[in-house]
Amino acid sequence: MTVPLSTWNAGAAKDAILDFVQRTCTEGSADAVPGAERVAVFDNDGTLWCEKPMPSQLDFILRRLAKMVEADSSLKDRQPWKAARERDYAWLSRVVAEHYAGDDTNVKTLAAGVVAAFANISVDDFEAASDEFLRTTSHPTLDRTYLECAYAPMVELLAYLRANGFANYIVSGGGRDFMRPISQEVYGIPREGVIGSAVALAYTPDENGGVITRQMAADYLDDGPEKPVRIWTRTGRRPVLAAGNSNGDIDMLHFTQHHDKPSLRLLLLHDDAEREFDYASGAELAVDHAATSGWTLVSMKTDWDRVF
């Protein structure tokens, strides 16, 4: 018999998970949740896989932007192409920091580049590029490919929940179509379980069934208050379990509560400089909310037996 959560160390976080699953999945329990309502939602970057020194999708985009400069040198002094070509992480970090602090001026500049980077290509070609990138590109410091940067304890948690009748969804600020080609293999989450940010798409008919093409415009950024909206849009349900790690997950975690059934909200702390990274930037507000909202803190350092 398999012991559940073998990659988790004994402690409050592991106990909270085991207790929640026990209560919600035991027929006849006062807290039992019907199978169809066992919806669990997970942020991706920093929750299911590593997001430092930068999210893998940002690396993917920077490489593409740098290639665009090779083809069109007039882009070389314009942001974000300039930063991409010069690998100017300081500029990029500042943009992300500004975003979490509520200033999206440079985010818009970056977003325009992101949207331009893969405009007018088919969703199939985009996925093939993403799939190849994630399989073949090494993480800058961790000595493994990006595909291997998923956290083993979270992958085990997903499997444990699935075995107990939960439907797991990825609810990421990252791109939906970036993650879909690898979600089943890495997380056991099928393509239809991936919720994420999206660009506008358009369908063009042809003799062979037509093509769906990425347009030069964002559709929505799946972050902050947009996360509950996109969860509802996709699932038609309010989750009973949510896991996140940053301020962008606060609304999703709050949304995961019911007056008539239990819920479990997990906030992952990056406090393990040795095995992963140690940072709290972008999560300060979330940690404050956790203290007053009954969320369960998960320390990578103490709660996880191994990280990868």
Please report how close the Cβ of residue 93 comes to its own copies at its closest, in angstroms: 28
Three-class SS state of 251: helix
Count of residues interacting with its own copies (CB under 8 A) = 40
- Asked if 202 touches its own copies (CB under 8 A), the answer is yes
Judged by CB under 8 A, does residue 185 bind its own copies? no
- Quote the tokens at residue 175: 């791109």
SS3 108: helix
CA pseudo-torsion sign 76, 215, 146, 6: positive
Which 9-38 residues touch its own copies, going by CB under 8 A?
Answer: 36
The answer to whether 229 contacts its own copies (rule: CB under 8 A) is yes
Whole-number Å distance between alpha carbons of 149 and 134: 10
Residue 294 within binding range of its own copies, rule CB under 8 A: no
Residues 36-75 that bind its own copies (CB under 8 A): 36
Q: Could you say whether residue 222 binds its own copies (CB under 8 A)? A: no
CB of 237 to its own copies, least distance (A): 6
The full length of the chain comes to 308
282 binds its own copies per the rule CB under 8 A: no
- Determine, following the binding rule CB under 8 A, whether residue 235 of this chain makes contact with its own copies: yes
Note whether 238 binds its own copies by CB under 8 A.
yes
**Considering only residues 108, 144, 191, 306, which one is a binding residue for its own copies as defined by CB under 8 A?**
191
Site for its own copies contains 102 (CB under 8 A): no
H or E element that contains 203 = strand 194-204
Buried b (16+ CB within 10 A) or exposed e, 244-265: bbbbbbbbbbebbbeeebbbbb
| Distance of closest approach, residue 232 Cβ to its own copies, in angstroms | 5
DSSP state of 224: T
User: How far apart are alpha carbons 243 and 245 in whole angstroms?
Assistant: 7
Q: Is 198 in the site for its own copies (CB under 8 A)?
A: yes
- Of the candidate spans 76-84, 112-120, 138-146, 174-182, the one that interacts with its own copies by CB under 8 A turns out to be 174-182
Dihedral (Cα; 293, 294, 300, 306), 10-degree rounding? -140
Contact 256, 241 (CB under 8 A): yes
Residues near 46 by Cβ (< 8 Å), separated by ≥ 6?
52, 245, 246, 268, 270
| One of 226, 249, 276, 303 touching its own copies (CB under 8 A) | 226
**DSSP category for residue 10:** S
Kindly list the residues in this chain that would bind its own copies in the complex (CB under 8 A).
Answer: 36, 123, 167, 176-177, 180, 184, 190-192, 194, 198, 201-205, 208-210, 212, 225-229, 232-238, 251, 254-259
